[in-house]
């Protein structure tokens, strides 16, 4: 018997031509090279899922709801359920009162949370801060709900005075607040307790809090003094990315919500024999296995080590910038280091996204101190050049 996990494809597939093969080889080398300067996006590059390669030879599909059985038996729901239960544990969601699924990424998880809120409170106003990820405004547009952007503070956190004054003017309708558990540019964490206090003081009858925890949803469970971000702190749903801190060759994520809310909007579809509770129909069955594998192999201890090392590297970067007299900073429990925007060449080389006058480096473990030294030297050169041209 062949050990090749892939079925014999010679009936329909001719072997790839030599030129095209060379193209793949070149592309692979280019991507390996690019990996060395991948510093501006929060996608962990260190993992080994080679055990799972054989599953690439199977057309698995977790279509629809991750619980219950499907007539489509080639699925990995049993692994998906364990991943959901594990993340529920990390976010203090009660196991039997919680529902969730493995998404295509943080954006889908946000869309799901906001969709749920809209189904529960169709006439609600949705509030989100200025520093919120661009995908949220798009999601709110798709959902066609009334929404208001709230100002942000300098550090990227929501401006609570603005939130209070704005909600005060709309006390007669439900309030849905999207809180950032780590903003994209500055890693800022909105204060869930403060937001709940505002909703209570204003006597808002119906409210819903969705947490966008794309990156920091996998940082806060592993620090000693986390800001409030859990179900036990009053959130109603949470979205985290799988390809960010955990690391995955394909985008993925986890969304969790309260089961009673999900049950209120579920619909059964006979065709696949499952509930059509998820945003997409067909769903990736490999990504839940990747997350499961990471959960088993890294586990609590491994993730704590990743987070510790990332925070140490963030402080290393801040100190490295300081040596050149450049002010870099980060929010508490964040691995996103913010500094003055460098030249276009530097941004391009180090694959960093700027925003107005700032840029950031995200110090996941593949961004080593040596990498940081080279990056900081490049940024410092830019700023020295800038200063010179301004003086002359």
**Residues assigned a catalytic role:** 334
Nearest distance in Å: CB 100, ligand PLP: 15
Residue 148 φ/ψ, nearest 5 degrees: -135, 130
Q: Which is nearer to ligand PLP, 129 or 277 (CB)?
A: 129
Q: Which is nearer to ligand PLP, 40 or 174 (CB)?
A: 40
Nearest distance in Å: CB 255, ligand PLP: 11
Nearest distance in Å: CB 40, ligand PLP: 12
Nearest distance in Å: CB 314, ligand PLP: 16
Binding site for ligand PLP (CB under 6 A): 105-107, 133, 135, 180, 182-184, 212, 214-215, 241, 251, 253
| Strand 358-362 with 354-355, pairing | antiparallel
Give residue number: closest CB to ligand PLP.
Answer: 106
Evaluate whether 289 touches 58 at the Cβ level (below 8 Å): no
Q: Which DSSP helix (H) or strand (E) runs through 289?
A: helix 286-297
Tell me the CB-side half-sphere exposure of residue 324, using CA atoms within 13 A. 23
Nearest distance in Å: CB 213, ligand PLP: 8
- How far is it, in rounded angstroms, from Cα 88 to Cα 84? 6
Q: Which position has the token pair 């800001």?
A: 227
| Strand 146-150 with 175-180, pairing | unpaired
Q: Which is nearer to ligand PLP, 183 or 277 (CB)?
A: 183
Q: Which is nearer to ligand PLP, 88 or 181 (CB)?
A: 181
Q: Which is nearer to ligand PLP, 137 or 266 (CB)?
A: 137
Angle between helices 299-323 and 286-297 (to 10 degrees): 80
Q: Which of 198, 263, 270, 192 is nearest to 227 (CA)?
A: 192
Report CA torsion sign: 304, 309, 312, 318. negative
């Amino acid at each position: 018997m062949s050990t090749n996990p892939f079925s014999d494809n010679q009936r329909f597939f001719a072997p790839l031509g030599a030129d095209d093969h060379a193209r793949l080889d070149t592309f692979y080398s280019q991507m390996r090279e690019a990996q060395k300067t991948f510093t501006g996006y929060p996608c962990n590059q260190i993992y080994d899922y080679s055990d799972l390669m054989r599953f690439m030879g199977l057309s698995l599909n977790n279509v629809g709801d991750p619980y219950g059985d499907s007539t489509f038996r080639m699925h990995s729901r049993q692994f998906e359920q364990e991943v959901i239960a594990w993340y529920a544990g990390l976010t203090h969601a009660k196991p039997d009162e919680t529902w969730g699924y493995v998404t295509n990424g943080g954006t889908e998880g946000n869309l799901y949370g906001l969709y749920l809120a809209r189904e529960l409170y169709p006439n609600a106003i949705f509030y989100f801060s200025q520093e919120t990820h661009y995908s949220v405004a798009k999601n709110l547009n798709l959902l066609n709900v009334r929404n208001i952007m709230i100002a942000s503070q300098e550090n990227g956190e929501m401006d609570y005075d603005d939130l209070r004054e704005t909600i005060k003017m709309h006390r007669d309708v439900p309030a849905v607040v999207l809180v950032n558990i780590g903003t994209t540019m500055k890693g800022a964490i909105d204060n869930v307790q403060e937001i709940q206090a505002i909703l209570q003081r204003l006597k808002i009858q119906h409210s819903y809090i969705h947490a966008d925890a794309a990156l920091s949803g996998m940082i806060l469970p592993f620090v000693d003094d986390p800001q409030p971000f859990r179900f036990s702190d009053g959130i109603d749903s949470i979205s985290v990315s799988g390809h960010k801190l955990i690391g995955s060759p394909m985008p993925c994520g986890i969304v969790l919500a309260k089961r009673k809310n999900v049950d209120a909007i579920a619909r059964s579809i006979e065709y696949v024999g499952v509930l059509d509770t998820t945003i997409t129909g067909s769903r990736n069955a490999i990504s839940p296995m990747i997350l499961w594998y990471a959960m088993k192999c890294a586990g609590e201890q491994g993730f704590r080590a990743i987070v510790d090392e990332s925070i140490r590297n963030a402080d290393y970067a801040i100190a490295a910038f300081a040596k050149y007299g450049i002010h870099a900073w980060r929010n508490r429990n964040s691995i996103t280091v913010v500094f003055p925007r460098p030249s276009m060449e530097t941004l391009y080389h180090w694959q960093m996204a700027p925003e107005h006058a700032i840029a950031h480096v995200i110090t996941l473990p593949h961004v080593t101190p040596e990498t940081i030294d080279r990056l900081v030297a490049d940024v410092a050169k830019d700023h020295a050049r800038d200063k010179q041209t301004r003086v002359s």
